[in-house]
Amino acid sequence: MIHQPPVHFLGKTLTGQPVQKQVRKLKDLDNIFLDQAAFSAADMNRVVYEVFSYLPVDEGTEGGLFFGMTHLYPGTVGQEFYMTKGHFHTIENRAEYYWCVEGEGMLLMMDKHRNTWAEQMQPGSLHYIDGYTAHRVANTGGGILSFGACWPSDAGHDYATIVKNGFSRRLLSVEGKPALV
């Protein structure tokens, strides 16, 4: 038997069933940005990023893989670039791949000892995120930043630790250029 693929990946879009779309607005990113005054003054309904995920097996299935495309819009809150919430995986040893399709960005990673480093994202860049490593992406360019992701279906997302403790370094826009401080 020959089957049509259920999902099509065209450039940077994902279409078909079951593709889940998740939209994150500024109001979903409370306690993420440093400049609380700038955050409060911003439009809470502003869309910061969208994630299209293909979840072919149930969340929590051991041995399966999920696939996602994230589209992160350009913008800043105070001195910080628009960025994803960032997370550790709930099953901490679960690794992940990110790869950049369009735009310019920075992948921030932080290990369990709170050492933080960054990798530059540009079209074609491939990023291996080891287990036990929190990950967050910032859009440092003037256009949309689109990247793919592939992660184990039982990884889960621990956002609470990042909301509470943040990353140990922040990526700031200093004279329009990204600086990890």
For residue 145, the cross-strand partners are 72
**C-alpha separations of 168 from 7, 113, 115 in Å:** 38, 10, 7
Other CB atoms within 10 A of residue 157 CB? 14
List the single partner that 154 binds among ligand PAN, Zn ion, none, CB under 5 to 8 Å by kind: none
Least gap, CB of 89 to Zn ion (angstroms):
6
The answer to whether residue 87 forms part of the interface with ligand PAN (CB under 6 A) is yes
Query: What beta strand segments (E) does 5-131 contain?
Result: 7-10, 13-16, 19-25, 47-54, 65-72, 76-77, 80-81, 88-89, 96-102, 105-110, 116-121, 126-129
Q: Footprint of ligand PAN on residues 92-121 (CB under 6 A)?
A: 96
The answer to whether residue 149 forms part of the interface with ligand PAN (CB under 6 A) is yes
The answer to whether residue 70 forms part of the interface with ligand PAN (CB under 6 A) is yes
Per-residue x/- track, 9-48, ligand PAN (CB under 6 A): ----------------------------------------
Least gap, CB of 21 to ligand PAN (angstroms):
12
Least gap, CB of 155 to ligand PAN (angstroms):
6
> Using CB under 6 A as the criterion, which residues of the chain lie in contact with ligand PAN when the complex forms?
51, 68, 70, 84-87, 96, 135, 149, 151, 155, 157
